[in-house]
């Protein structure tokens, strides 16, 4: 482990975090909100101070190479450091206490979108913008965005990209890693722009359009109104949001490939995206029918509500158009299933990822065939490519780890005094980076109702979930921090 390299790169990340606070600072100054402006100035000063200390300790030199351990350390510690610094505007402004500030910041940067604010409509626009920016920066990935902007990541940056990118496979479209990061970031910005334009055309004002576009494409779900989408009662807006949430659930590498080849057919030939669309279509049909039969909803309203919430929860955005906590049991089961599965690998969506589900089913099928025909040589393929055995086993390990973490988080919350159903719902929604779930943390509730210990644990599990568990666990391995060793 070369701690000098790690410290140097962390310094760049903290400096860039301070720069990300500039738009809310300008907005606070223009609004003549001196207290909020002072809070952001303090946060930016702390970012610069931390950067100075890190750069005193370390830094990058011309021939430095970033190895596996450095990549994991920069990603894990970078996310932790940025999330902690992100609490300062909430804390210094007097809007939240320390624990709630941590929850709001970790939830924002991890893309969970679970808020502790009971009333976001009383918040100044600068704080609302900072919440949306934390969603947006964390959505594609803190390190990926800064890698696209900064040139200081040097050789070996692939290890950083692998550590932060979600999914079982890490597709690469460009020869140079920085060019790859710039391509993903460009697509991210373009989708955010088109989403904001779409929302504006559907009737939102400029500020709401920009904020909701950032949190939609990031699949974070922070909003500027308490009831998010229900505030507008606009079916055109709901369908527009559902469309962009589904788009954000697709692989950004897939979009980059389609753009480079000039062929939109790449998207519709992608096996994972096709199966994702099939899953949400089936779920929407079943939920629609259940709402019509069990709750006597009008067909149009039932279809509209089902499509929106299936898109919202499968993408792990967590926007709410109606109180889905009041839906019949069958609808709740299918909505929770889509929460658990999540979107596609390489997207901003959370959850298990559809690619892993495909690999696991194919792996089980391969084992069954080998039991029947022992001499058969079989492989697992995805999108016409043979998948390495290690990747398949990695998908199985991740599935096992997610289930264990869900159960562990739920069990600990039960000791904190919560009901079993509430524990399971909060656990799945947190580990899937959804935010709203059912019961205590339902569609119209907040994480502010959780006990203090459960809030702190939620921060830990949001951190674990966003970096897909193993990157964080590696940081707690003693051999990881030794100066020598095989990594």
pLDDT digits (tens, 9 = 90+) for 352-397: 899 999 998 888 888 888 888 877 777 788 877 888 888 888 888 8
Under the banding of pLDDT at 50, 70 and 90, the label for residue 56 is confident
Structure tokens at 147: 């890698």
Give the per-residue pLDDT at 470: 85
> What's the Cα-to-Cα distance from 9 to each of 52, 162, 212, 314, 346, rounded to whole Å?
12, 16, 31, 34, 23
- What backbone torsions phi and psi does residue 260 show, to the nearest 5 degrees? -65, -35
Q: What is the mean pLDDT of residues 454-465?
A: 91
User: Cβ distance 470 to 162 under 8 Å?
Assistant: no
The answer, yes or no, to whether residue 484 has pLDDT greater than 70, is no
- Burial class of 265 by CB neighbour count within 10 A (0 to 12, 13 to 18, 19+): exposed
Under the banding of pLDDT at 50, 70 and 90, the label for residue 93 is very high
Give the per-residue pLDDT at 163: 61
Q: What is the mean pLDDT of residues 172-201?
A: 85
Give the per-residue pLDDT at 417: 87
Structure tokens at 69: 């351990």
- Beta bridge partner(s), residue 65: 155
Q: What is the pTM of this model?
A: 0.90
Give the per-residue pLDDT at 250: 94
Spatial separation of the C-alpha atoms in residues 266 and 274, rounded to whole Å:
11
Under the banding of pLDDT at 50, 70 and 90, the label for residue 154 is low
Q: What is the mean pLDDT of residues 36-63?
A: 87
Give 319-380 as a DSSP string.
Answer: --SS-GGGS-HHHHHHHHHHHHH-S-TTSS--SS-HHHHHHHHHHHHHHHHHHH-TT-----
Q: What is the mean pLDDT of residues 87-106?
A: 95
| Long-range contacts, 321-324 (Cβ 8 Å, 24+) | 321/228, 321/229, 321/230, 321/238, 322/230, 322/443, 323/442, 323/443, 323/444, 324/443
> Which of these ranges, 109-113, 145-149, 180-184, 310-314, has the smallest mean pLDDT?
145-149
Q: Pick the more confident residue, 8 or 149.
A: 8
Under the banding of pLDDT at 50, 70 and 90, the label for residue 162 is low
Q: Pick the more confident residue, 109 or 435.
A: 109
> Model confidence over 217-271: pLDDT tens digits?
999 989 898 877 776 778 999 999 999 999 999 999 899 989 988 889 999 899 9
Spatial separation of the C-alpha atoms in residues 394 and 390, rounded to whole Å:
6
Under the banding of pLDDT at 50, 70 and 90, the label for residue 159 is low
Q: Which residues, at least 6 apart from 271, have a Cβ–Cβ distance to it below 8 Å?
A: 358, 382, 383
Number of Cβ within 10 Å of residue 364's Cβ equals 11
């Amino acid at each position: 482990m070369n701690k000098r390299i790690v410290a140097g790169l962390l310094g760049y990340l903290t400096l860039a975090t301070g720069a990300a606070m500039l738009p809310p600072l300008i907005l606070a100054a223009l609004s003549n909100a001196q207290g909020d402006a002072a809070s952001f100035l303090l946060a930016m000063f702390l970012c610069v101070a931390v950067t100075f200390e890190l750069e005193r300790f370390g830094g990058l030199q011309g021939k430095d190479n970033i190895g596996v351990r450095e990549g994991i350390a920069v990603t894990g510690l970078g996310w932790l450091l940025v999330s902690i610094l992100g609490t300062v505007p909430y804390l210094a402004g007097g809007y939240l206490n320390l624990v709630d500030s941590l929850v709001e910041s970790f939830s924002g940067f991890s893309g969970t979108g679970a808020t502790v604010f009971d009333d976001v409509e009383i918040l100044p626009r600068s704080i609302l913008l900072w919440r949306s920016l934390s969603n947006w920066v964390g959505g594609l990935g803190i390190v990926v965005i800064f890698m696209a902007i900064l040139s200081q990541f040097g050789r070996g940056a692939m290890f950083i990209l692998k550590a932060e990118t979600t999914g079982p496979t890490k597709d690469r479209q460009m020869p140079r890693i920085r060019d790859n990061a710039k391509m993903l970031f460009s697509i991210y910005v373009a989708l955010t722009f088109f989403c904001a334009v779409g929302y504006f055309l559907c009737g939102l004002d400029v500020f709401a359009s920009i904020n909701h576009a950032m949190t939609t494409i990031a699949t974070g779900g922070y909003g500027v109104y308490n009831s998010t989408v229900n505030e507008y009662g606009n079916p055109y807006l709901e369908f527009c949001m559902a469309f962009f949430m589904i788009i954000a659930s697709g692989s950004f590498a897939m979009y980059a490939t389609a753009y480079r080849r000039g062929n939109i057919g790449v998207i519709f030939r992608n096996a994972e995206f096709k199966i994702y669309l099939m899953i949400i279509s089936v779920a929407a049909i079943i939920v629609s029918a259940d709402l019509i039969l069990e709750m006597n909803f009008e067909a149009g309203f039932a279809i509209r509500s089902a499509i929106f919430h299936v898109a919202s929860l499968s993408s792990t955005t967590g926007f709410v158009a109606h109180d889905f906590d009041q839906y019949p049991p069958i609808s709740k089961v299918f909505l929770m299933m889509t929460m658990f599965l999540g979107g596609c690998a390489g997207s901003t969506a959370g959850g298990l990822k559809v690619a892993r589900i495909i690999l696991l089913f194919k792996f089980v099928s391969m084992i069954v065939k080998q039991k029947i025909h022992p001499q058969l040589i079989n492989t697992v393929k995805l999108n016409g490519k043979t998948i390495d055995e290690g990747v398949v086993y990695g998908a199985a390990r991740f599935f096992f780890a997610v289930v264990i973490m869900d159960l562990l988080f739920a069990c600990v919350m039960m000791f904190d005094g919560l009901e079993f159903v509430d524990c399971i719902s909060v656990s799945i929604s947190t580990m899937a980076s959804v935010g709203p779930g059912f019961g205590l943390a339902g569609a119209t509730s907040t994480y502010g109702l959780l006990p203090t210990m459960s809030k702190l644990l939620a921060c830990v599990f949001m951190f674990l979930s966003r970096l897909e568990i193993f990157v964080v666990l590696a940081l707690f391995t003693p051999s990881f921090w030794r100066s020598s060793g095989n990594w």
